[in-house]
Amino acid sequence: MRSSGRDGRKPDEINEYRDTWVFMIVQDRNCSRCGGDMPRGSMAFNRGEEHLCLKCAGMDHLVFLPRGNMALSRRARKYSSTSAVVVRFARARRRYERQGVLVEEEALARAEKECAADELKRKDRRKKEEKRRDAWELEYVAAFAAAVRSRYPGCPRGVEFKIAAHACEKYSGRVGRIAAAKELDAKAIDLAVKAHVRHCCTEYDRLIKMGYEKFEARQMARAEVDRVLIEWATPRKKDRPSG
């Protein structure tokens, strides 16, 4: 009933719900059963090597609900005796991406009514969750800065906060967002400090603007980076214990 995906993986290996798939067509084709046109953007159900239009697959009574509203999709699927996940193959990413779901019209209407009834309650819950996440982010950045100061006690005052804020910026993909960094792993801390030193304490950025490749600029700046790191790893004289 489920065919292999174009990227070689079976739907069961991709679809977290392990249920019926409907594919959004990326190129014109014809229904394997009735021969009807299935233009690009329409939907088809795959049975082995067959590509069936929704009518031939017995799904033409379902309506399409685009992705974007998780509560509505979840409830619509809950109340629908028949449903399907609609996916489309993204060639650039070489994977199937979820586009929405097919559900019964009555189920969608019931889900919309429920969502409208408790919209304010769900909105309030989202706000509380956002505040909780924001509080965690502040605590995390502060802890990251403290870890920087602990490993590099000789760095100038306040620099640890600049390093932490940059490395841990949400959605940046920088080292501060990786799992190891959130555990305040020493290697992640070192990478964040090294990146700051490279950009702020060496000629690295100027070399890039001059046309050097990144690996060349890094090589040319390495000695200065190492020198600063050694200096920062040593407590400043006034911070050293006396006696």
Tens of each residue's pLDDT in the chain, 243 residues? 333 343 343 443 333 334 688 999 888 989 998 999 999 889 999 887 888 999 999 999 999 999 999 999 999 999 999 999 999 988 888 888 999 999 999 999 999 999 999 989 988 988 999 999 999 999 999 999 999 999 999 999 999 999 999 999 998 999 999 998 889 999 999 999 999 999 999 999 999 999 999 999 999 999 999 999 999 999 976 655 444
Classify strands 84-90 and 21-24 as parallel, antiparallel or unpaired. parallel
In three-state secondary structure terms, 202 is coil
Cα separation, 60 vs 40, in Å, equals 17
Closest alpha carbon to 14 in 87, 102, 92: 87
pLDDT of residue 62: 95
Taking residue 54's Cβ as centre, other Cβ atoms within 10 Å add up to: 20
Instruction: Domain ranges for the chain, please list them.
Output: 11-117, 121-239
Taking only Cα atoms into account, the Rg of the chain, rounded to an integer number of angstroms, comes to: 27
